[in-house]
């Protein structure tokens, strides 16, 4: 017996395909957690990163915040929040957002700051407003890096949302944690396959987003 036979057994069992503990339900829950956390992290990280990158100020403060946030163990934080706040969305969302803000924030800051100053000066010389310079020159040029920051945030959220099952939340981690308790290895590796597939799909989505959103001129020079 190896892992693949277990995986095949898991997916061919029709009981895993519907109902409250079915794959569609769990997948949807996982995607919901991910989108919500990524949305909040982007709403916080993108504007702050764009503004600080544009003005070039506060880089050291940002690096310090990012280091501190990275040092926080997300799994531990989740368990702690669960014990303090009890059942609810907050104990999952707080650690996920704390985890996702630093990559978004720091990468956006670095991306905007490292934009070639020549086109920025040219835009100013043409009489563009500061907002215009930021949104119509710096943002498009910095977009590939900004997307890579969002991507690593999303990957980490997908990975950590799996662990939320330990503190009784839904999502694909349910299969792994329940399977471990029930000594049902088939369920464990089935869940692991699903989570890995979701993570790879996330990579794919960001790759496609990069293709669509990044202007051709930027892609060629990068």
Partner 1 sequence: MSELFDLPSDLQNSYLGLVALHLRIALLPVLAGLLVALPIAQLCVRLRWLYPPVLWVTTVLYAVPSLAFFVVLIDYTGLSELTVMIPLAVYSLVVFVPALVDGVRSVPRETLDAATAMGFGPVRRYLQVQLPIAAPAVIAGLRVASVSSISLVSVGMLIGNQGALGNLLNSGMIYHQPRLIWLSVVGTAVLAILVDAALILLRALVTPWMPKGAVR
Residues that bind partner 1 (CB under 8 A): 2-3, 59-60, 63-64, 67-68, 70-77, 79-80, 83-84, 155, 158-160, 162-163, 166, 173, 176-177, 179-180, 185, 188-189, 191-193, 195-196, 199-200, 202-203
- Nearer to partner 1 by Cβ, of 40 and 77: the residue is 77
Closest CB 100 distance from partner 1, rounded Å: 13
**Shortest Cβ distance from residue 162 to partner 1 (Å)?**
5
**Minimum Å distance from CB 154 to partner 1?**
9
104, 39 in Cβ contact below 8 A? no
> Is 29 or 133 the residue whose CB approaches partner 1 more closely?
29
Is the Cβ of residue 52 or residue 202 nearer to partner 1 in the bound state?
Answer: 202
Nearest-approach distance from CB 214 to partner 1, in angstroms: 17
């Amino acid at each position: 017996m190896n892992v693949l036979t277990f995986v095949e057994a898991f997916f061919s069992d029709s009981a895993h395909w519907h109902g409250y503990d079915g794959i569609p339900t769990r997948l949807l829950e996982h995607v919901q957690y991910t989108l919500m956390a990524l949305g909040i992290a982007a709403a916080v990280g993108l504007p702050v990163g764009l503004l600080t990158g544009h003005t070039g100020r506060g880089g050291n403060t940002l690096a310090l915040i990012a280091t501190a946030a990275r040092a926080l163990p997300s799994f531990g934080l989740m368990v702690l929040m669960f014990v303090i706040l009890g059942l609810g969305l907050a104990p999952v969302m707080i650690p996920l957002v704390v985890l996702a803000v630093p990559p978004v924030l720091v990468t956006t800051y670095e991306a905007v700051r490292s934009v070639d100053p020549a086109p920025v000066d040219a835009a100013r010389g043409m009489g563009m407003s500061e907002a215009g310079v930021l949104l119509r020159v710096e943002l498009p040029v910095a977009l590939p890096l900004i997307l890579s920051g969002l991507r690593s945030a999303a990957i980490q959220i997908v990975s950590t949302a799996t662990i939320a099952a330990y503190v009784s939340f839904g999502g694909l981690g349910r299969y792994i944690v329940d399977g471990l308790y029930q000594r049902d290895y088939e369920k464990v590796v089935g869940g692991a396959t699903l989570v890995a597939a979701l993570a790879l799909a996330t990579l794919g989505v960001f790759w496609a987003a990069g293709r669509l959103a990044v202007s051709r001129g930027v892609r060629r020079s990068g």
